[in-house]
Chain A
């Protein structure tokens, strides 16, 4: 008889793989990409392609330098795509590509590649471009205007002139802003798809968005919390960046803390800080807290009573 194969149990694996998850995320972003193209024209496609190709090429190069094998696992595509989605629709292509290269090289590969980085690479790329080319990074156009007539984003308008954009426009995406932060509905479709597939945890986006809404409601009675939830990059960040596995907590409890923390930071930046936005910074800051959260927040272990903070006489 042929030699038998001996290996430890279990002898079956689920059919979920890294690729399957990554490509599902890409599929989930299709509605958002479609909205971007619809509102801001085909130049958007060029930006997305430039970012993805640059990300892939940089990863290939970096891994070669590190003497490792390049694997097409889809993660670099996601980084490129997410970065493109948080760039202005008329950014020069070379700038977008440079941002993607920076994201992959300095936010992912220097830490040791997939699974090792601390900060969300796409957001690092965005922040890098923001500080390097602030003018180009804040040049917005109105939807359906194909030449760059500069305008302000809804959050910019609110910050400078206290003008609130109608909810319906924010939901559908008929507003100026980054390529991917136009239509809340399109983002929600993708997010719900990933939650239904159980590839992302609903706790993160829910706690994040709810914190922003509730804090706005409590702190500023004159403000409209729904506006703050729908405007800017909150939805994109909450569903696609705060849920990045590598850079966010591994436990459910930790994810809720992450969401709440990020929400608090967004509100602080929007109300007190100089920027109209704040999603990118909030997620990056919470990324820094992730190792700490993971160190201290663990699920309750079977057979071990959780230490109670408050004990009632009944417990004794």
Chain B
């Protein structure tokens, strides 16, 4: 096997991929769901249904006039109970539609499309109509696939790195839905007119690399290549992936399009397949429910299912719960409550016991330089953090604060336990406020 590609610096947090060998299980249809009207980057949706309406699984229930938005669909059949403000697992409060299940699980589907015959516009319209957003990042996919005029795209990179601790959702999708991933990838390549396609997979997932290679071989598409990547965080960050695979860099302050590459998550490719070939909108996804639950699983969950429901399906909490994360250890968002709903980019629900949830005591910086050593961007994190705390935002700019992508590697390695990444993101927020 070829040498795995990589990037400079980075860290090796524990993998803890305890669910890697567990096949995807269909989660039970929940008694109710909460479909948030804002599950993506971009404009929120307006509800298309009202209280008391009957809805079916796959029915569009929210949309927006804005191009930079993606519609939302009901993931079960039932009755709309209320439309109210709900807590999103992103930490924001957004409007949500509460639907009670009728237990029948009746579906509506869109017409199937043959991507060979369909036009680019038709496919992009379908991707939007199916409500597809990046299943890693949550950015509306049709927007990402519509670069501004003059931006030449030559490469599509499928992100199967899954460099986060604990998360195995993409891993299982690559193993169990390999054909759909590759077919979805070909649809996207057609839409953006990419000449080449790469599937980047970290080399801790040998089985997925082998499996994807087999399928690519069988498809006989010479444009597509599976690339093993070194297991290292943050390998799955878009800009890092482009660097590792193509040795191109997103210019500072620029856009990823400027590299001529587009990055899509492997699960997004699978969702694209479902939307185009099967006419199924994005209403369910694989969520790794793991950590301190009795029986960690990879669950195929309906969007809108509450975290509590899925945790219950994994046997409930094991020990005294301290934190519940949406996502993995490095980038996960800590939750206030366990009844928040699964949204489109919820790849993992990670439960941590009290003992693992303590925030260590912060000490003085000893200038060891470890944060400098691990920063994949080449920043001097500790100085940036210090400048931000002192309110010296102008100087933060000199130290390229805007180029920080917030991976958190600096905080992870700091022997003085300084939350450097948090300080830097504070500085970025303040600068954004000042810019107006």
Name the interface size band of chain A: 35 or more
B82 proximal to A (CB < 8 A): no
Interface segment among A174-182, A231-239, A244-252: the answer is: A244-252
Give bound CA distance, A16 to B399, whole Å. Answer: 26
Contact (Cβ within 8 A) A10 B364: no
B240: nearest chain-A partner, CB-CB: A302
Beta-carbon contact of A303 and B252 below 8 Å: yes
Is A314 part of the contact surface with B, judged by Cβ < 8 Å?
no
Which A residues between 1 and 37 are near B, CB-CB below 8 angstroms? Answer: 1-2, 4-14, 16-18, 20-21
Contact A1 B321 (CB under 8 A): yes
Closest to A306 in B: B378
Beyond A5-B334, A9-B333, A12-B13, is A113–B364 a contact (Cβ under 8 Å)?
Answer: yes
| A17 with B417, Cβ < 8 A, contacts A1-B338, A114-B364 known | yes
Alpha-carbon distance A304/B253, docked complex (angstroms)? 9
Q: Which residues of A contact B321 (CB under 8 A)?
A: 1-2, 4
| B333-A245 in contact (CB<8A) | no
Q: Are A6 and B372 in touch, CB under 8 angstroms?
A: no
Of the candidates B352, B356, B369, which one forms a contact with A201 in the assembled complex, judged by CB atoms under 8 Å apart? B369
Contacts A10-B421, A13-B360, A113-B364: A301 and B403 contacting too (C-beta < 8 A)?
yes
The residues of A with any CB-CB pair to B shorter than 8 Å are 1-2, 4-14, 16-18, 20-21, 71, 73, 75, 113-116, 201, 245-246, 249-252, 294, 298-304
Q: Least Cβ distance of A117 to chain B in Å?
A: 10
Tell me if B382 is interfacial: C-beta within 8 Å of chain A.
yes
In the assembled complex, the Cα of A3 lies from the Cα of B153 at a distance in Å of 48
CA A302 – CA B322 in complex, angstroms?
36
Contact with A along B370-394 (1 / 0, CB 8 A): 1011011111101100000000000
The number of inter-chain residue pairs (CB within 8 angstroms) is 160
Sorted nearest first, the 3 A-B pairs with minimum C-beta distance are A303-B252, A10-B408, A299-B378
CB distance from B425 to the nearest CB of A (A): 8
Identify 29 residue pairs between A and B in the complex whose beta-carbon atoms are under 8 Å apart, listed by A's number. A5-B359, A6-B336, A7-B357, A9-B331, A9-B332, A10-B13, A10-B411, A11-B329, A11-B356, A11-B357, A12-B165, A14-B11, A14-B13, A14-B412, A16-B415, A18-B416, A114-B363, A115-B364, A116-B364, A201-B369, A251-B380, A294-B380, A300-B378, A301-B400, A302-B243, A302-B376, A303-B249, A303-B254, A304-B251
Complex contact A9–B372 (CB within 8 A): no
Instruction: Give the distance to chain B from A261, nearest Cβ to Cβ, in Å.
Output: 17
Q: Tell me whether B373 and A302 are in contact (CB under 8 A).
A: no
Instruction: Note all chain A residues with C-beta closer than 8 A to B324.
Output: 4
Taking a contact as CB atoms under 8 Å apart, the answer to whether B369 and A245 are in contact is yes
> Contact flags (1/0) for B309-336 with A, using CB distance below 8 Å?
0000000000011111101011111111
- Measured CB to CB, the closest approach of chain A to B322, in angstroms, equals 5
Cβ distance B346 to chain A, nearest Cβ, rounded Å: 15
Q: Which residues of B contact A1 (CB under 8 A)?
A: 321, 338
